[in-house]
Structure 1
Amino acid sequence: MPIRLRYALLVVLLVLFVTGWGANHFASMIPVLKADEGLSATVLTGAFGIYALGLLPGLFGGGTLSDRTGRRPVVLSGAAVAGLGNLAMVVWHDSTGVLAGRLVVGLGAGLAISAGTAWAGDLRGRSGVTSAGVVLTTGFALGPVITGLLAELVAHPLQIPFLATGIVSLAAAAIGTVLTPGGRPHHAHPNGMIDDNERSVGAALSWSVPMALWVFSSVTVVVVVMSARIGDDAWVPGLAAAVALGTGVIIQFVVRQAHAGPMAGVVGAALAAVGFLLCAAGGAHPSMALFVVTAVVLGLAYGLCLRDGLVDVETRTPPARRGAVTGAFYVACYLGFGLPVLVTTLAPTVGLTTPMVVLAAAAIVASTSRAVRLRRR
């Protein structure tokens, strides 16, 4: 086997890890930017929004472009662009610099995530996409931890965390240029579970999007909505993210080792419903015990729905369209980041409980409909 092909999957997973780190580490920079640079809560909240503004076209465009030109140039360019966005904030960390840097990071991350996940599927089929989900989640989870430690321990907490993730992203892109093959996408590991005649963009989206809707919505409910009801301490969202994302990583490993089938997605959506109801039961002042239990339940939902959604994309998409469908799947996942804003907007009118109950009902519908479709196959 050529050396570039032998190491290709490892390099793709490395790129996805550092991309997740570079995209999510900003959460731990918020207190530093607020204290040292005096940035307002409005600016820092806007930095999250403008990140999504860059991310969504990157997800859509990166996947589609990689179907036409090849995965390698899109993935490695995306990693480099995300790295440059973080490096820009080393020296330019006023409000304009942070907003511009986060926009660039979002664009680069979108390119790398959609095309990178599709590339993992090209290289190793179902195993490749599930590994991509695990590694990306690990990067999301560890990014804020690494940056938080650097911000506490180094002499220049405003510069070093951005410098570290920027350099690592560029290094991963450079390694990729040496150790990965070029050329058009090649589906080297076709999945025999689905007949080629049953593969279509519509089929893939009809199965994967109902899973995607509960991926980041599960995480944001506990990290943003429920954390705000616990208190204003900075460690509370960090604890929620660590528990939820850590649980998500573990359950993806477990179901992968158990070779779990598509019923895992049924369980994932049902667990999302349970988590939303627990959040509703906690009301305006949930206990810490309920908070932690909810984080675990919604972390399980996150991991199972992400895993089965990616498997749906890999098994039901025509190989020539995998990049575009992967991008569309992740766009649906990221819709969950808008959930806290929606809940906060509706709360004065409908209260705290009603939105969570409605979300739980929708998740039950997704779980039930998937179970019915699987029984009919």
Structure 2
Amino acid sequence: MSTRVSHQRVFVSVLLLLLGAGWAANHFASLLGPLRDWQELSGVTVNAAFGIYALGLLPSLLGGGALVDRVGARGVVLTGATLAAVGNTSLLFWHDEIGVLVGRFIVGLGVGLTTSAGTVWAGQIRPNGGAVLAGIFLTSGFAVGPVFSGAIIYLIPERFSLPAAFALTVTFSLLTIALALLVGNATSPAAPRQAARARVDVPYRTLGRALAAALPMAVWVFSTVTTAVVILSARAQAGAVPALLVPGLAALLSFGSGLLIQVISRRLAWGPGAGVAGALLAGAGMGLAALGGASLPLPLFVPACMVLGCAYGLSLQQGLLDVSYLAPARSHGIAVGIFYVAAYLGFGLPVIMELLLPLAGARSPFLVLSLLALVSALIRSAQIVRTDLLVRTNIRKP
């Protein structure tokens, strides 16, 4: 078997692991309502279960990125995928108030390792566009997870539906792990690290510069889609759409739009200005959420989800590209980890909005977020000019 073919198979297995990680993380969105109603959990508890996942992510994203820089990506990714499967297995058998918190925390630990290390690994195997494809497959997992779980909840009797939803994502995670183990022997584990070392660092590539460009994008990655999938789906007046399917519909609209806009942006080579568009779309989406307030009719719910999804897609893609272009090879892993830490803080937004609701109402917090997104767009615009001048200056140097 040629080295090229073996690397291609490993690359596909990495993308599938990221698809499984997104599914393992986000299928829970369609289970928030059933857990609240059938298990008699409070709204704060189920939103906290959605958000505590982010607490598990924080150390594993940073630790995973740092471990990749030291020991390579393969073992870190497989460990993360296994932990995500363990967390959802725990939720399969234990989904009372304590169980959902513990299980989601374990899922967060696993998905954090898989996301950071998998993104770096994809970029190492395929330096030209690997990290962007990693984001696309991760997005695909985020999109399909709630759709499948929502369909199971709707079609299968209550007694079996929750266990079936958790069992499905565990099965898919285990299949991706098995595939990665199978094809992983076809290439040397050192190959990705060699690819990373082959990258030539230039003076304008620094960790600080990469993060200064990427972090204003990271803020609008998961804060936008959690707004759509968790907050807006709970406030939607969906009419003929069954309530159990609304979170899945929100996920399909938002993550589907995010996936489509990433593909379009990549095909048409929109460049760093797409990040400005992402921040502006985040502002527009938050503005639509504020317009709807505590009750969104379907004609407002649908475009709000799609606009927020496009903001997610462009912000994720541009943030990863910033890290890829501006971070030095020796700290690429930790840069990806820090970017994702900032991005995943958005998973805490539903809890914050739930706590602010009796104090600030349903509209005001979204208006503030809309203004902050406009500020991010201005910051991004200024950074594009500075970075472009810096890169051009270094390119012209003999």
Q: Is TM > 0.5 for Structure 1 vs Structure 2?
A: yes
| Alignment partners' CA distance in 2, 1:19 and 1:337 | 15
Write out per-residue CA displacement over residues 247-292 of structure 1, whole angstroms, 9 at most, x where no aligned residue. Answer: 0011011111112211110111111112222222333444321221
Query: What residue identity is the alignment partner of 2:124?
Result: D
Matches within 5 A, 1:189-268: 196-231=202-237, 233-268=243-278
Are 1:77 and 2:74 an aligned pair? no
Query: What residue identity is the alignment partner of 1:102?
Result: R
1:170 to 163, 174, 184: 174
Write out per-residue CA displacement over residues 57-77 of structure 1, whole angstroms, 9 at most, x where no aligned residue. Answer: 111111111111110000011
| Alignment partners' CA distance in 1, 2:38 and 2:220 | 36
Query: What residue identity is the alignment partner of 1:86?
Result: N
Distance 1:28 1:177, change over 3 A: same
Are 1:183 and 2:190 an aligned pair? yes
| Alignment partners' CA distance in 2, 1:144 and 1:283 | 24
8 A Cα contact 2:21 2:115, kept in partner: yes
Write out per-residue CA displacement over residues 77-108 of structure 1, whole angstroms, 9 at most, x where no aligned residue. Answer: 11011112212333333444333222211111
8 A Cα contact 2:154 2:244, kept in partner: no
- The equivalent residue for 1:160 is 164
| Alignment partners' CA distance in 1, 2:268 and 2:194 | 24
Give the aligned length.
376
Structure 1 gaps, min length 5? none
1:15 to 17, 25, 33: 17
Q: What is the alpha-carbon root mean square deviation over aligned residues?
A: 2.5
TM-score (structure 2 length as normaliser): 0.86
Q: Offset of 1:39 from its aligned partner?
A: 4.5
1:371 to 353, 356, 381: 381
TM-score (structure 1 length as normaliser): 0.91
Matches within 5 A, 1:84-95: 84-95=86-97
| Alignment partners' CA distance in 2, 1:290 and 1:187 | 50
8 A Cα contact 2:51 2:351, kept in partner: no
Q: Offset of 1:324 from its aligned partner?
A: 1.0
| Alignment partners' CA distance in 2, 1:153 and 1:282 | 30
| Alignment partners' CA distance in 2, 1:278 and 1:42 | 24
Q: Offset of 1:344 from its aligned partner?
A: 3.8
- The equivalent residue for 1:280 is 290
8 A Cα contact 2:196 2:329, kept in partner: no
Sequence identity, in percent?
45
| Alignment partners' CA distance in 2, 1:229 and 1:98 | 23
8 A Cα contact 2:14 2:118, kept in partner: yes
1:306 to 316, 332, 335: 316
Residues 218-227 or 238-247, more deviating? 218-227
Structure 2 gaps, min length 5? 390-398
Q: Offset of 1:32 from its aligned partner?
A: 4.4
Distance 1:337 1:4, change over 3 A: same
Distance 1:359 1:44, change over 3 A: closer
2:151 to 149, 152, 156: 149
Distance 1:35 1:345, change over 3 A: closer
| Alignment partners' CA distance in 2, 1:228 and 1:98 | 19
Q: Offset of 1:239 from its aligned partner?
A: 2.3
Q: Offset of 1:14 from its aligned partner?
A: 0.3
Q: Offset of 1:133 from its aligned partner?
A: 0.8
The secondary structure found in structure 1 opposite 2:380 is helix
8 A Cα contact 1:198 1:316, kept in partner: yes
| Alignment partners' CA distance in 2, 1:206 and 1:164 | 39
Residues 199-208 or 145-154, more deviating? 145-154
8 A Cα contact 2:27 2:149, kept in partner: yes
Q: Offset of 1:225 from its aligned partner?
A: 3.3
8 A Cα contact 2:30 2:247, kept in partner: no
1:334 to 334, 344, 347: 344
Residues 234-243 or 128-137, more deviating? 234-243
8 A Cα contact 2:24 2:169, kept in partner: yes
- The equivalent residue for 1:269 is 279
| Alignment partners' CA distance in 2, 1:343 and 1:48 | 13
Query: What residue identity is the alignment partner of 1:159?
Result: P
8 A Cα contact 1:70 1:184, kept in partner: no
The secondary structure found in structure 1 opposite 2:263 is helix
Residues 139-148 or 89-98, more deviating? 89-98
Query: What residue identity is the alignment partner of 1:335?
Result: L
Q: Offset of 1:353 from its aligned partner?
A: 3.4
Distance 1:55 1:177, change over 3 A: same
Q: Offset of 1:304 from its aligned partner?
A: 0.6
Residues 102-111 or 182-191, more deviating? 182-191
